[in-house]
Chains A and B, each alone.
Chain A
């Protein structure tokens, strides 16, 4: 197991390097550099821009820029953001944590809700509930997350007050906390934070939850029709034990691989959802950085995102091996 982990981690290195190299050269291919956005003011004399480009190292040949960036990146010096004028090492951890909060809560929603719906559908196959849930799942699966986010805001933060819904259904539509939340007692701070999390997490997760439900239904149905389930029923186990203990465990195995599949998807969605809910996370950071041609920040953010995805894939493979002893990685 340890050997397998090490081999996988080593295999991830060229992958990450490849992604970084591609992004580096795509950014360099594009017209314009950070100075064009920093000094779009026509009153700035060209000498100043030249000096600025020299200071930032932008007038060097491409391969030298690449080499210099790569070597300093590898030793941990991630440089300074052009746009925010702060070291990237100061910016990244906080935003990363914000995004992780959002995506982890979404992941919980995705798998809990998706699996629950899938199990209900499989146990009551071809019933009305199954058909209705299938269609509802398809509806949410086909929905753009940004539109769902807007509709949630429309209903829960704008119309809820108008229609006189109870206070706990009126949810905030932007930022991570209410203004001045830091003066509240810790209990209320937590409530405030959770209230701010609900809408973005739902907008981000529900589409993928519908996807998980589709997989879960199929995988559960496949297990339920196998012989050992009939044996379990025959020896007089209660239906609950049969479904949750015997069937579910086996149906979960293929679902675990979805964890790795949904991570890049979630991070894509996070870009949109964070933009809409003004959530200060990686998605917004990278979009802002791209528009400002903030090369070092874009590279660092891309690296972190790619690393999360690679780690997620690794985690899902390891879990897969842990859950299913038939699979031998080495």
Chain B
């Protein structure tokens, strides 16, 4: 019954603007329409498969005494996915040809978007990333088992990968596949939040240093150099080992130790932006420094910051996994890819699957973010466009 309840069964979310560009093209090849119809049929099939898979769980909700919030989120996501797909399918039929021509010229972002869409590897990265975030939202519906359910400890421990347990079971008889799915939530959210913190901090430090120059700049840059010249993992271990390890501590510390690269990039940009006419005009109009920085300087540094943030998420996921591997990150029984690999280390010889699959999950996630980041860099930097 449960044929392959895995990542691939999530339908691809309609990419923003992916259809518009084609609809806007004056001549439309017949092949484009057909691929689109095929894609729509495929997506509907996958979505209905997903609904079939999750229906027992949704029905089971009626008997459940306490429903967890993430179940509601998952159902809501599934519903939104359904509506989105409906809209996408209908739009192809109804709006065909009725789209008014755009009168405005293309913005910097539109041009970059066009370049980005042509880059197949980058689009693949984007697709994987969207799928991963979707999976984190609907995990409770598609995970075949409870990640903490231990089963019969004698019968179900160290089972090799099979039909019932696609990735096998660990020493407590827990299903690795479900745990990998739940681990995706932890890794991806930690990556996202930590990079959010570090990018904000880095932009602020870089912008303030570059804009004011002089004493402020040299103090901030010395601090940046200092942080850069110490191995990050060692610093993280020092800080986390001394306090009680918890998810929030890990997120905060990862955020506070990852801002140096962004700060340097932003500072470099701001140094040249500061001398531009529009900033001088803003200053001549009597605007405050803070307003100039936030409204006029920082938005112009956004392109390289987005690139470094995307690459930074991949790096942060790797670092978080390393910390969890050392036992300093996410604490068991909460599954995270890092601590699952650490679990597998003890049983490497009799159960290779415990360490292998979470590690592969890390590799593919980080590959996706690297592809996306490289693609964004190529698209956003005019010198790299081909």
Contact = CB atoms under 8 A, between A and B. Distances in A.
Contacts of B359: 143-144, 147, 150-151
Interface string A270-307: 01100110000001001100110100001000100110
Interface in B323-338: 325-326, 338
Given A158-B348, A272-B326, A23 B231 contact: no
B325 A146 contact: yes
Interface in B211-262: 222-223, 225-226, 228-234, 237-239, 241-243
Interface stretch (B144-152, B284-292, B314-322): B314-322
B371 interface: yes
A141 interface: yes
B69 to A, nearest CB: 31
B362 A18 contact: no
A286 B234 contact: yes
A150 B326 contact: no
Interface string B326-360: 10000000000010010011001100100110010
B308 interface: no
B130 to A, nearest CB: 18
Contacts of B326: 271-272, 275, 287
A276 B229 contact: no
Contact of A150 (B223, B226, B233, B344): B344
A146 B348 CA distance: 13
Contacts, number: 128
B363 A272 contact: no
Contact of B363 (A142, A271, A305, A313): A142
Contact of B229 (A147, A153, A310): A310
B222 A271 contact: no
A18 B224 CA distance: 11
Residue in A264, A291, A310 whose Cβ sees the most chain B Cβ within 10 Å: A264
B384 to A, nearest CB: 10
Interface of A is mostly: helix
Contacts of B348: 150, 153-154, 158
A264 B355 contact: no
Given A158-B349, A286-B234, A298-B238, A150 B322 contact: no
B366 A18 contact: no
A144 to B, nearest CB: 5
B239 A142 contact: no
Interface of B is mostly: helix
A318 B243 CA distance: 40
B355 A138 contact: no
A324 B226 CA distance: 27
Interface stretch (A24-32, A49-57, A71-79, A175-183): A24-32
A272 B322 contact: yes
Contacts of A1: none
B345 A276 contact: yes
Nearest to A312: B229
A151 B353 CA distance: 11
Contacts of A30: 242-243
B226 A144 contact: no
B226 A267 contact: no
Contact of B241 (A14, A18, A291): A291
A15 interface: yes
B325 A272 contact: yes
Contacts of B123: none
A267 to B, nearest CB: 4
B234 A15 contact: no
29 contacts: A18-B226, A19-B226, A30-B242, A138-B370, A139-B363, A144-B322, A151-B356, A151-B359, A153-B348, A154-B349, A158-B349, A264-B228, A264-B229, A264-B230, A264-B232, A265-B231, A267-B234, A268-B233, A269-B233, A275-B326, A276-B345, A286-B234, A286-B238, A290-B237, A298-B238, A302-B238, A309-B229, A310-B229, A313-B229
Interface of A: 14-15, 18-19, 22-23, 26-27, 29-32, 138-139, 141-147, 150-151, 153-154, 158, 264-265, 267-269, 271-272, 275-276, 283, 286-287, 290-291, 293, 298, 302, 305-306, 309-310, 313
